[in-house]
Amino acid sequence: MQILRARIFHTPANPFHQADALISIQDGGLVIQDGKIAACDDYAVVRAAHPDATVRDLRPGCLLPGFIDTHIHFPQVRIVGGIGYSLLDWLDQLALPEEARLADPAYAVTIAREFTQNLAAHGTTTALVFGAHFAGATAALFHAAQKTGLRIISGLVLSDRNLRPELHQTPQAAYDDSKRLITALSENSLQSYAVTPRFALSASEAMLEVCQTLLREYPALHFTTHLNENPSEITEVARLFPWSTDYLHIQERFGLATRRSVFAHNVHPTDNELERFAAHQCSVAHCPASNAALGSGIFPMRRHLDAGVHFALGTDVGAGTGFGIPKEALQAYLMQRIAPDPLTLTAAQMLWLATAAGAEALDLQTTMGDFSPGKSADYVWVRTSQDTLGSILTTLGPAGIGEVAVEGRPIR
Ligand code: GUN
Ligand code: ZN
């Protein structure tokens, strides 16, 4: 048993619903036993209760729950910063050529290592990750995550049209390869699987049926895809699925909108779609840096809140500008401040979006996201002498991150 002594911030409740949701402990003690949080309180209180525990004094730093990235692409580590494009041109000219390189197993292993090291270095302890279009590369990602000690949910990216031939699989091959990857994951590992059609633009109905079949065969799987990101994309998808009433309708038709579904972006939803997202209890991965970099638009956060649609943060590397979830929280703050229907996020809401909201999006809210006793000891030790949570989150980059742990085990 050990006690980490530092300033502590966490959000066991949702600060969009509750004004006093932020817990801030000036001289805090986080008690860790067997990889789980045993207690989180004033240092003097936990010390008195656990006189035999080892104490690590991490002052003047602070402890935050591990950051959770709900949308990021493993094959895109090396193309961060390709500015000046809109979504479809960016895919065609930058992202897809790089993704095709992951057919080379040695390159995939190198990228997987770079990717997982970057996540850990930025304080991300759990991520929902778009894998590669190749089973070998996707397996390399799971392997690298396992070695690092990171928790990831990922899957083979499925597409059978409109990308480039090297990235297309037949629906049968997609099914077979997905099944092999799913069954290769052991029950008690930190890794789990997400069925991942890239977006409706690159998936035929037969491919979406494969997704539906996989979710039926393995009901605990997660599901993720892109949706409603860019006006040209939305127009093209409507043309490809002439029977659809809107983008979400396509996912609904194949049973892909569930509590375990995370839809990336949703910058341009209709009111009716928002009502249905809420009814299905699915989540949205909000990626504010990517939305600005690709000129996709300003996320309608207030409309999501009003409709009761859950959202959390994603970096969307490589369309996004980097691995930092705190930077993403800041970008969300900045964009909403000047949105047409503006909203001023609080520091508590920023922390919630970076941590517990992600846990909820991944249906892992009973396991992680804050320091409640019984949850996994996933934490970030931030070396800072800043006073307020707003300053800490605004200025926090990889240089400020001291230690990052998953289940109490340091991962960097
Ligand atoms: N839509 C389909 N593929 C992608 C991708 O790689 N990045 C983003 N931002 N949107 C997408
Ligand atoms: Zn993306």
Q: pLDDT tens digits for 22-35?
A: 999 999 999 999 99
Structure tokens at 209: 């049926």
Residue 354 and residue 13 in contact, taking contact as beta carbons nearer than 8 Å: no
Is residue 412 very low, low, confident or very high in pLDDT (cuts 50, 70, 90)?
confident
Residue, of 387 and 164, whose pLDDT is higher: 164
Q: 36-42 and 23-33: which strand pairing?
A: antiparallel
Q: Which ligand is nearest to the CA of 69?
A: 2
User: Does the pLDDT of residue 196 top 90, yes or no?
Assistant: yes
User: Does the pLDDT of residue 188 top 80, yes or no?
Assistant: no
Is residue 304 very low, low, confident or very high in pLDDT (cuts 50, 70, 90)?
very high
Q: In what order do the strands lie in the sheet with 401-406?
A: 36-42, 23-33, 2-10, 54-65, 379-382, 401-406, 409-410
**% residues pLDDT > 90 (the chain):** 98
Q: Please name the residue that has the structure tokens 């970030």.
A: 380
User: Does the pLDDT of residue 186 top 90, yes or no?
Assistant: no
48 CB burial (10 A radius; 0-12, 13-18, 19+)? exposed
Ligand 2 center to 142 CA (angstroms): 19
Atom of ligand 1 nearest to the CA of 130: 6
**Residue 80: C-alpha distances to residues 33, 76, 293, 362 (Å):** 38, 7, 10, 25
Ligand 1 center to 405 CA (angstroms): 29
Q: What gap in Å lies between CA 373 and CA 177, rounded to an integer?
A: 39
**% residues pLDDT > 70 (the chain):** 100
Mean pLDDT of 160-171: 98
Mean pLDDT of 327-351: 98
Q: What gap in Å lies between CA 201 and CA 87, rounded to an integer?
A: 12
Atom of ligand 1 nearest to the CA of 226: 1
Is the CB of 120 within 6 Å of ligand 1? no
Is the CB of 198 within 6 Å of ligand 1? yes
First to last CA, the chain: 21
Q: What pLDDT shows up at residue 315? A: 98
Ligand 2 center to 347 CA (angstroms): 26
pLDDT digits (tens, 9 = 90+) for 375-408: 999 999 999 989 899 999 999 999 999 999 999 9
Is the CB of 349 within 6 Å of ligand 1? no
Q: What gap in Å lies between CA 24 and CA 30, rounded to an integer?
A: 12
Name the residues around ion ligand 2, CB cutoff 5 A. Answer: 264, 316
Q: Which ligand is nearest to the CA of 94?
A: 1
Is the CB of 87 within 6 Å of ligand 1? yes
pLDDT digits (tens, 9 = 90+) for 63-103: 999 999 999 999 999 999 999 999 999 999 999 999 999 99
User: Does the pLDDT of residue 13 top 80, yes or no?
Assistant: yes
Structure tokens at 320: 């996004």
Q: What pLDDT shows up at residue 187? A: 81
Across the chain, mean pLDDT equals 98
Ligand 1 center to 279 CA (angstroms): 25
pLDDT digits (tens, 9 = 90+) for 133-149: 999 999 999 999 999 99
User: Does the pLDDT of residue 278 top 90, yes or no?
Assistant: yes
Residue, of 189 and 358, whose pLDDT is higher: 358
Residue 197 and residue 169 in contact, taking contact as beta carbons nearer than 8 Å: no
pLDDT digits (tens, 9 = 90+) for 205-227: 999 999 999 999 999 999 999 99
pLDDT digits (tens, 9 = 90+) for 218-254: 999 999 999 999 999 999 999 999 999 999 999 999 9
pTM value?
Answer: 0.98
Find all residues with CB under 8 Å of 366, minimum gap 6, and list them. Answer: 375
